[in-house]
Amino acid sequence: MAVTVRIPSYLASFAGGRNSLELDGSPATVADALASLWQLHPALRDRILDEQGAVRQHINIFVGEEAIRFADGLSTKVPEGAEILIVPAVSGG
């Protein structure tokens, strides 16, 4: 089964107007899944990762219900058919 990525509304305009999309193949880790995502929509990369390849501080990425910040970061495993959620953190003023 394909992996689905959910994209926050702010970034939909950088993903052809879509809020979710399915990735071809079976990415083993979150890093692999994101690499496939950048292939499809390159503009998403700089908005989600900084130039050192780290997930921006106020963005959370979940595999299913598990925050990768508290798992193995970008090396977190992605099970077949999983859903990856990219969610802006609740912060600011």
Partner 1 sequence: MPRVQHVSAKKGDVIVLVGTMKGAFVLRSNAARKKWDVGGPYSIGSPVYAMAFDQRQGRHRLWWAQQSFRWGTVLCSSDDYGKTITEPEAYSVKFPEESKLALKNIWQICLGRADDPDTLYCGVEPAALFESHDGGKTWSPVKGLLDHPHRDRWVPGGGGMCLHTILPDPVNPRRMVIAISTAGTYRSDDGGTTWQARNQGVRAEFLPDKYPEFGQCVHKIVQHPAQPQRLFLQNHWGLYRSDDGGNSWKDIANGVPSDFGFCMVMHPHDPDTVYIVPIESDEYRCTPEGKMRVYRTHNAGASWEPLTRGLPQKNALETVLRDSMATDAADPTGIYFGTRSGKVYGSSDEGKSWQTILEGLPAVVCVRAALVGDGGTSSPRRRGGAEKEKEKIQKKRSASRRAPAKRQTKGRAAKR
Please tell me whether residue 56 binds partner 1 under the rule CB under 8 A. Answer: yes
Q: Which is nearer to partner 1, 80 or 93 (CB)?
A: 93
Q: How many residues does the chain have?
A: 93
Residue 71 burial (CB < 10 Å; 0-12/13-18/19+)?
Answer: middle
Please tell me whether residue 47 binds partner 1 under the rule CB under 8 A. Answer: yes
Please tell me whether residue 91 binds partner 1 under the rule CB under 8 A. Answer: yes
Could you say which of 25, 42, 64, 79 contacts partner 1 (CB under 8 A)?
A: 42
In the complex, the smallest distance separating the C-beta of residue 43 from partner 1, rounded to whole angstroms, is 4
Please tell me whether residue 28 binds partner 1 under the rule CB under 8 A. Answer: no
Could you say which of 6, 58, 67, 79 contacts partner 1 (CB under 8 A)?
A: 58
Burial pattern 15-53, b for ≥16 Cβ within 10 A else e, equals: beeeeebebeeebebbbbbbeebeeebeebbeebbeeee
